Amino acid sequence: MATRAASPRTASPRYGQTPTFFVTFEGDNTELMQLLATTLLADVASPFEDLDVVGTVRAITTQRAGRVLSDLTRSLPGEPDLLDPAWQGEVLPLREERLVDALARRLRTLVKEGKNPLRALSPCQDHTLSATRAHVSRRSHELFSETADLSGLPLLAQVRDLSTLSAIGRDPTWWLGHGLLTAETSRGLQKQVGSAASPDERGQLEPS
């Protein structure tokens, strides 16, 4: 369980605004993920303002109904290669973009129906966590790719692949429903995850 510590309603001379402090028990990142979601939503709501949770949700409700999203159909024709880093680097941002946008639209609907902006995130917790996990997956892939390219260590590339495959495997229905994964590829996904996670005789991860 995670709890939020109350912060004084005064401006911080160091940070310029009233800080919000979060205290979490080891292994529970729910509060931190929700805080990250607020940051992601703030990018949707108002790229030029520093908003708190209430300000972010209110800003979202005053926006037009949707954004111009990346075209899902422009990429990835045919059977995808799950271990292709270019494919991974293209689809992970698409998932994040759509989940954050859908969360923003859901919050907009709740507030327009009379929900208090401060409490509007509560019924959307599952959606919130999915959006933030998508963001973490995308950033992890970017960082692993950059480090693997610089270091020339194949093990880092294999860890990147394992992380990406695991992220896809947590919600294959979403990927299938958006045309980013075929039924045939989905059926072989868990086998690829298991293969990527198996150490070989040199103590490295097995290449799939």
Q: Once rounded to an integer, what is the mean pLDDT over residues 174-184?
A: 86
Three-state secondary-structure class, residue 22: strand
In this prediction the pTM is 0.68
Give the structural domain span for 55: 23-60+81-196
Contact 85, 160 (CB under 8 A): yes
**pLDDT tier for residue 12 given thresholds of 50, 70 and 90:** very low
In a domain, 33, yes or no: yes
| Residue 123 per-residue DSSP state | G
* Least confident range of 70-74, 110-114, 204-208: 204-208
> Which residues make Cβ contacts (< 8 Å) with residue 10, sequence separation at least 6?
18
Domain annotation covers residue 128? yes
Q: Which of 47-51, 58-62, 135-139 has the lowest mean pLDDT?
A: 47-51
Residue 68 belongs to some domain of the structure: no
Domain assignment present for 154: yes
Are 169 and 190 in contact, with CB atoms under 8 Å apart? yes
Q: Above 90 in pLDDT, residue 14?
A: no
Mean pLDDT of the chain: 72
Select the more confidently predicted residue: 72 or 6. Answer: 72
| pLDDT band at 3; cut points 50, 70, 90 | very low
The mean pLDDT value for 158-169 works out to 91
* Number of domains within the chain: 1
Query: What tokens were used for 91?
Result: 């689809």
Is residue 66 domain-resident? no
Residue 177 lies in a domain: yes
Is 34's pLDDT higher than 80? no
Regarding predicted confidence, which is higher, 48 or 108?
108
* 183 token code pair: 């039924």
Residue 120 backbone class (left: φ over 0; alpha: ψ -120 to 50; beta: rest): alpha
Contact 71, 56 (CB under 8 A): no
Does 207 fall in a domain?
Answer: no
Q: Is the pLDDT of residue 129 over 60?
A: yes
Structural contact between residues 32 and 50, judged by C-beta atoms closer than 8 angstroms: no
Q: Rounded CA gap, 55 and 145, in Å?
A: 35
Confidence at residue 157, expressed as pLDDT on a 0 to 100 scale = 87
Q: Does residue 13 fall inside a structural domain?
A: no
Range 178-184 average pLDDT: 84
